[in-house]
Amino acid sequence: MSEKLNENRYLEDILNRFSDKSAVIGIIGMGYVGQPLALRFSEIGFKVIGYDIDSNKVDMLNGGTSEIEHIANADIAKAVAAGFECTRDFSRISEADTAIICVPTPLNAYREPDLSFVIATCDAIAPYLRPGQVVSLESTTYPGTTDEEILPRVTRNGLIAGESVFVVYSPEREDPGNADFTTHTIPKVVGGHTANCLKVGSALYSTAIDKIVPVSSNRAAEMTKLLENIHRAVNIGLVNEMKIVADAMGIDIFEVIDAAATKPFGFTPYYPGPGLGGHCIPIDPFYLTWKAREYGLHTRFIELSGEINHAMPEYVMGKLVTGLNARKKALNGSRILVLGISYKKNVDDMRESPSVQVMELIRNAGGEIAYSDPHVPAFPKMREHSFNLSSVALTPDSLAAFDAVVLTTDHAAFDYEMIREHSALIIDSRGVYRTPSDTIIKA
Amino acid sequence: MSEKLNENRYLEDILNRFSDKSAVIGIIGMGYVGQPLALRFSEIGFKVIGYDIDSNKVDMLNGGTSEIEHIANADIAKAVAAGFECTRDFSRISEADTAIICVPTPLNAYREPDLSFVIATCDAIAPYLRPGQVVSLESTTYPGTTDEEILPRVTRNGLIAGESVFVVYSPEREDPGNADFTTHTIPKVVGGHTANCLKVGSALYSTAIDKIVPVSSNRAAEMTKLLENIHRAVNIGLVNEMKIVADAMGIDIFEVIDAAATKPFGFTPYYPGPGLGGHCIPIDPFYLTWKAREYGLHTRFIELSGEINHAMPEYVMGKLVTGLNARKKALNGSRILVLGISYKKNVDDMRESPSVQVMELIRNAGGEIAYSDPHVPAFPKMREHSFNLSSVALTPDSLAAFDAVVLTTDHAAFDYEMIREHSALIIDSRGVYRTPSDTIIKA
């Protein structure tokens, strides 16, 4: 009886603290996901503490600035003024009522899940957890992660899931650069380890997010996020394959996709490109591939998409070599300008950008490489790529100095008419130029 | 100069005849595509002649009735009263201003395009074509068909494409059972062999269809239709594969798809099932596969989808055998009721229905097979399948007499609560039942 009362005490207490906004929202990982979420909770009146291992990032945020282009410094400064603070001290998780984990889940060199950031986070906070807290994982991962990896760690010191700690999985759905939606207008899927965990998780997020979508388990929530990204990876893989087939038949795949998109049911347009980029689509699907092996299953669509999408930078290269060759030029020694090097349009995010792969292929073949990207003034320090380059300003003269330009990311800021007019040869991997022309090759 | 005038004469004449509705609309093939199109042209005031090789169908239509469930006899009768007539006499194509070809394009036993109906149609009308007519192919087919197969046949007797005959490809987009759209509200893609062909094709269809989508070539129009259906086949293949993976992990894929569908961008829900059915999705993609070989290319997504979707009836069978086995029953000798045998919900269309494949698998394994389908009172005569069965009326008693029911097509007319209550075992391949239960197995 007393135990039952005890359980209800933690549950009711945390629900009340969400409801009267006295709860302190702790968010671990101050990146593309953690920052907007912290701003949202701060904006609606919660005290927010951000935790990160990067002292530079912590200092910047405490100073009211963000290194992320699409997050306004003014919004950070406003949150700081309202009490938002960042720290590298993970023992301070005891001050928070929630531990919302927003750390990266990359792949290792063998396309296997790298949960090291998630595990390190759990190990760092576990000694400081106290009864009544919520631990919510937002990082994309395979079904079973929360129950198999998070749960044992956060209950190590005697906390009981659903009674004295609430273990939740709620996948992030951030879409940087999407002007139509923002953190609170994107419905949020929530799973819990027990019914009480789900209740608390839903209460936590419903303070900040317009619409909560509860599902029956953490596994179902984990699978939901993977399905979203697998769907995208496969559909992009499909149109990339269709591009190659259509091109061989003398058909413009972009015209075909636009025409198909006029069907008012049963078709959704996806567009081909120079490969897959970003921190989600090229990576997440392989989390399921890895886990499925435990069940003796192959995820054949995922593997096929990976293969085809991965080959697209080579395809673009092939079109460049062909175009130069028709002008009696070798790539070796030619001056090549790559247009747009972030992984998608109108953002500065370079993670897994296929443009960089195209740049490397060109450099490896002896091309003199340059790039222009209004969102990336200087080529950033990346773990696996290195170019000592700054963005070339686009003018009629600068364009005319190159043997070819390769359009890999179709930023809205580019002056496409000027580019068309002054480039000797354009390799267009984004379908920007629809009218056939002697100087434009669709890739 | 006189030739130029001549050309303009045919062009202007036919455009005028569409504009003042004095043109006679000839439509060849009075099936799922031809009938609604004929009704639409008749409805807006054109004289329409339908051509078909099936005397039974011709007699029925001339008598004011249709054998297609979702086409109302009253609409046929109204058209007949307004002058619509059908004939088996293809020489009468000379009476029409258009030859709109809506005949089947199936696959042969080796998954190769079977253009025999298209070719036979062209050969039958070619001797009777006269200057000034439009020949428009609506059948789904590989890129190049219209220009490579139709054009030489219709110009055999001296007609010149774009001058004295207008050669068009405009894919049908009929979706039987779709209550939201009808023939004239579905935008229509149109390609032409020449600019004049496209002009005439667009004029023809814009009399009857709200929105015309002109594309740059017949090939582009042919590819558009294929892409629409390939997109669907691949997405259904993907969720079928995901269903198998999720099932192994103890996750309900239908719950996951519904949750993913709450993402307001970047995701479109497709649902798994017992296999692919209908006259389009299982067939059309392989038209591209076949043509791509000419270019040394493989269409790997299409082939993977075909393989996975084709294996789904076996998957459903496996779930049935497992469910019976858990009840210490063998399939051999068990009484099995299949619910819904048309290829999709709320229609009577049996073409390529995976339910029939499930029925055959059960029969081959010694199961005593019965079916219930409110849209298919008696099992129809099919080329490759034979069952001497009538639809079983669903009552508590009739349901209780079966060892298992296999839900393959989720018609709205079924009383799912009664089915749940009185069935010993339900194999649900459509995700109708979401709450876990001892008598329901998701398949």
Q: Which pair of tokens denotes residue A213?
A: 């979508």
Whether residue A234 lies inside any domain: the answer is no
Q: Which one-letter DSSP state was computed for residue A113? A: B
Among A220, A238, A245, whose Cβ lies nearest the Cβ of B251?
A220
Which of B251, B254, B344 to mutate to test binding with chain A, by most A CBs within 10 Å of its CB? B251
Please tell me the predicted confidence (pLDDT) of residue B401.
97
Please tell me the predicted confidence (pLDDT) of residue B282.
86
CB contact under 8 A, A266 and B181: no
Q: What is the identity of the amino acid at B182?
A: T
Judged by a CB distance cut-off of 8 A, whether residue A144 touches chain B is yes
Contact B426, B340 (CB under 8 A): no
For tokens 């099995």, name the residue. Answer: B336
ipTM over 0.85: yes
C-alpha–C-alpha distance, residues B370 and A172, integer Å: 48
Please tell me the predicted confidence (pLDDT) of residue B109.
86
C-alpha–C-alpha distance, residues A79 and A75, integer Å: 6
C-alpha–C-alpha distance, residues A165 and B310, integer Å: 46
Do B197 and B280 belong together in one domain? no
Please tell me the predicted confidence (pLDDT) of residue A384.
83
Q: Give mean pLDDT in consecutive 10-residue pieces for chain B, a chain of 443 residues.
A: 62 97 98 97 98 97 92 96 98 98 93 96 97 97 98 95 97 90 96 98 98 98 98 97 97 97 95 89 93 96 96 97 98 98 91 94 97 96 90 97 98 97 97 93 94
CA atoms within 13 Å, Cβ hemisphere of B14: 30
C-alpha–C-alpha distance, residues A312 and A294, integer Å: 30
Q: Which pair of tokens denotes residue A410?
A: 């179709």
Shortest alpha-carbon distance between residue A411 and chain B (Å): 19
Please tell me the predicted confidence (pLDDT) of residue A402.
98
Please tell me the predicted confidence (pLDDT) of residue A1.
42
Q: How confident is the model at residue A390 (pLDDT cuts 50, 70, 90)?
A: very high
Which chain B residues touch A264 with a CB distance below 8 Å?
180-181, 185-187
Which of B238, B253, B304 to mutate to test binding with chain A, by most A CBs within 10 Å of its CB? B238
| Touching A: B residues 258-277, CB under 8 Å | 259-260, 262-268
Q: What pairing do the DSSP bridges indicate for beta strands A165-169 and A188-192?
A: antiparallel
CB contact under 8 A, B224 and A173: no
Do B282 and B170 belong together in one domain? no
Residue A280 annotated among the catalytic residues of the structure: yes
Contact A221, A150 (CB under 8 A): no
CB contact under 8 A, A301 and B259: no
Phi then psi dihedrals of residue B317, to 5 deg = -55, -45
CATH number of domain containing A56 = 3.40.50.720
Do A129 and A268 belong together in one domain? no
End-to-end CA distance of chain B: 70
Do B169 and B260 belong together in one domain? no
C-alpha–C-alpha distance, residues A193 and A189, integer Å: 14
Judged by a CB distance cut-off of 8 A, whether residue B252 touches chain A is yes
Please tell me the predicted confidence (pLDDT) of residue B172.
97
Which chain B residues touch A284 with a CB distance below 8 Å?
none
Nearest to A23 by CA among A2, A37, A41: A41
Do A201 and A300 belong together in one domain? no
Contact B234, B309 (CB under 8 A): no
Contact A321, A333 (CB under 8 A): no
In DSSP terms, A370 is beta-bridged to A337
Residue A18 in this model has a pLDDT that exceeds 90: yes
Which chain A residues touch B213 with a CB distance below 8 Å?
259, 262
Number of H helices, E strands in chain B: 16, 13
**Burial class of residue A378, CB neighbours in 10 A (0-12, 13-18, 19+):** exposed
Phi then psi dihedrals of residue B312, to 5 deg = -65, -40
Q: In the listed set B202, B217, B232, which residue is the last one of a domain according to the structure?
A: B217
Residue A337: its H or E element: strand A335-339
What confidence tens digit (pLDDT) does each residue in A90-139 have? 999 999 999 999 999 999 988 899 999 999 999 999 999 999 999 999 99
Q: Which pair of tokens denotes residue B2?
A: 């006189």
Nearest to A347 by CA among A293, A409, A291: A409
CA distances from B302 to B227, B242, B351, B354 (A): 11, 17, 20, 18
What confidence tens digit (pLDDT) does each residue in A213-254 have? 999 999 999 999 999 999 999 999 999 999 999 999 999 999
Angle between helices A300-310 and A285-293 (to 10 degrees): 140
Percentage with pLDDT > 90 across chain A: 90
Shortest alpha-carbon distance between residue A94 and chain B (Å): 33
Whether residue B207 lies inside any domain: the answer is yes
Residue A2 in this model has a pLDDT that exceeds 60: no
Contact A403, A234 (CB under 8 A): no
Whether residue A37 lies inside any domain: the answer is yes
Whether residue B245 lies inside any domain: the answer is no
**Which residues form the domain of A213?**
2-225
In DSSP terms, B161 is beta-bridged to B165
Contact B137, B145 (CB under 8 A): yes
Q: Which one-letter DSSP state was computed for residue A150? A: I
Do B117 and B23 belong together in one domain? yes
Whether residue A78 lies inside any domain: the answer is yes
Catalytic residue among B86, B102, B197, B280: B280
Do B213 and B263 belong together in one domain? no
Among B180, B215, B297, whose Cβ lies nearest the Cβ of A259?
B215
Do A195 and A266 belong together in one domain? no
C-alpha–C-alpha distance, residues A253 and B219, integer Å: 11
Do B80 and B167 belong together in one domain? yes
In DSSP terms, A101 is beta-bridged to A28, A137
Please tell me the predicted confidence (pLDDT) of residue B382.
86
Contacts of A239 by beta carbon, 8 Å cutoff, 6+ apart: A253, A257, A270, A271, A272
Q: What is the mean pLDDT of chain A?
A: 95
pTM, two decimal places: 0.94
Q: Which pair of tokens denotes residue A225?
A: 């996020």
Do A105 and A214 belong together in one domain? yes
Judged by a CB distance cut-off of 8 A, whether residue B215 touches chain A is yes
Which of B173, B184, B188, B241 to mutate to test binding with chain A, by most A CBs within 10 Å of its CB? B241
Q: What is residue A289's three-state secondary structure?
A: helix
Q: Which one-letter DSSP state was computed for residue B245? A: H
C-alpha–C-alpha distance, residues B261 and B265, integer Å: 9
Among A232, A238, A266, whose Cβ lies nearest the Cβ of B301?
A238
Whether residue A244 lies inside any domain: the answer is no
Among B189, B238, B299, whose Cβ lies nearest the Cβ of A301?
B238
The region that residue A223 occupies, defined by phi over 0 for left and psi between -120 and 50 for alpha, beta otherwise, is alpha
Judged by a CB distance cut-off of 8 A, whether residue A211 touches chain B is yes
C-alpha–C-alpha distance, residues A326 and A320, integer Å: 10
Q: In the listed set A174, A201, A225, which residue is the last one of a domain according to the structure?
A: A225
Sequence-ordered alpha helix ranges (H) in A82-169: 116-125, 145, 151-154
Residue A5 in this model has a pLDDT that exceeds 70: no
End-to-end CA distance of chain A: 70
Do A85 and A157 belong together in one domain? yes
Please tell me the predicted confidence (pLDDT) of residue A70.
87
Contact A71, A106 (CB under 8 A): no
Give the dihedral of Cα atoms B270, B275, B279, B282; nearest 10 deg.
Answer: 80
Please tell me the predicted confidence (pLDDT) of residue A7.
53
Shortest alpha-carbon distance between residue B298 and chain A (Å): 8
CA angle at B242 for the pair B270 and B176, rounded to the nearest 5°: 25
Contact B41, B48 (CB under 8 A): yes
Nearest to A284 by CA among A269, A262, A299: A299
Whether residue B241 lies inside any domain: the answer is no
**Burial class of residue B99, CB neighbours in 10 A (0-12, 13-18, 19+):** buried
Q: In the listed set B196, B217, B238, which residue is the last one of a domain according to the structure?
A: B217
CA distances from B46 to B16, B17, B26, B80 (A): 13, 10, 10, 12
C-alpha–C-alpha distance, residues B285 and B303, integer Å: 9
Residue B87: its H or E element: strand B85-87
In DSSP terms, A161 is beta-bridged to A165
| Touching B: A residues 149-188, CB under 8 Å | 173, 175, 178, 180-181, 185-187
Contact B188, B212 (CB under 8 A): yes
Whether residue A115 lies inside any domain: the answer is yes
Contacts of A188 by beta carbon, 8 Å cutoff, 6+ apart: A170, A173, A205, A209, A211, A212, A213
C-alpha–C-alpha distance, residues B320 and B436, integer Å: 17
Do A118 and A186 belong together in one domain? yes
Q: Based on the structure, what is the number of domains in chain B?
A: 2
